[in-house]
Amino acid sequence: MTRLSVNINKIATIRNARGGNIPDVRLAAINCQRYGAEGITVHPRPDERHIRYQDVRDIKPEIVTEFNIEGYPSEEFFKLVNEVKPNQVTLVPDPPDALTSNAGWDTVKHKEFLKDVIAKFQAAGIRTSIFVETDLELIRHAKETGTNRVELYTEPYASEFVNDPLRAVEPFAKAAELAGQIGLEVNAGHDLNLDNLEYFVKHVKPLHEVSIGHALISDALYFGLENVIQMYLRKIHDAR
């Protein structure tokens, strides 16, 4: 069964644009869970332009589903994750000035680095996932890092979906199939939305979790947060 984790970064972006505490990120996390979200995702960056490190600390006691923290494994990030101890940490290769995550790890070039970081997180009892693209060789090498999961970077799928859904999803279906065969669990995220989500979930197996933020929070401006979370859950359920 594919689970829906809601990324609440965009709520923090709106708050930070004005200062103060409106909208309340902590309350948003609570409400997302009340409305059916099966996980909460945050991605704190070094400049804290959306989710702040203190937000992560404040949100953790409210999580009753699953807490996923994404980020580049800098020393500061490593300390935060070990302090908060989420259910899952997702490692992304973002440089500090990245607008959004836009590439997966080179699991050959960075294998030893990832092995060391992953081992430390797992020793603290935290499940690990690493952000990857659909290159099958890099997925094979991801297994050698010791990670529990890979998260497929789905922006290429979202871009191509409007032109040719089958061609768009094929590399992801093959990548997930291989990952499952070699003992990796599979997550996915980036630019998934109400138009392309059901097709993706239907064709990509195994798929344990999708992390969705920008589109979901944007849809909530039109339809309301509770309604939108249920809309996304229905897309996932209808794909079974």
- Give the active site residues: 43, 70, 190
Nearest to 77 by CA among 53, 112, 103: 53
Q: 216 and 194 in contact (C-beta within 8 Å)?
A: no
Token digits for 117? Answer: 């970081």
Using DSSP, how many helices (H) and how many strands (E) does the chain show? 11, 8
H or E stretch at 70: strand 67-71
Q: Which of 24, 19, 2, 35 is nearest to 11 (CA)?
A: 24
Q: How open is the CA angle 214-238-167, to the nearest 5 degrees?
A: 70
